[in-house]
Amino acid sequence: MPKYLIEREIPGAGKLTAEELRGISQQSCSVLNRLGPGIQWIQSYVTGDKVYCVYIAPNEALIRQHAEEGGFPANRISEVTAVIDPATAG
């Protein structure tokens, strides 16, 4: 199944409290539960004004549906075509 990187512009994201991040996570999981097993949230990275999320889904449309139903921005959705790491050099 395709893997996607979602860029979400959220001003002040890096200053969100643990409680605020928990609330966002709970909202995301609630929407994921409604959408079913076809979409999975793998991990997110919080930076100064953005959150980068990794999801597995059959298509970009389902990623957009999750964002809309959850009230999250999805400013850029990119399909991951390859994953590399230091072992790739070997």
**Helix 60-70, helix 18-35: angle, nearest 10:** 130
What is the structure's pLDDT at 37? 94
What is the structure's pLDDT at 82? 97
Domains of the chain, by residue range, sit at 3-89
21-55 pLDDT, tens digit each: 999 999 999 999 999 999 999 999 999 999 999 99
More confident residue, 65 or 90: 65
> Across residues 50-70, what is the average pLDDT?
97
CATH class of 3-89: alpha beta
What is the structure's pLDDT at 39? 97
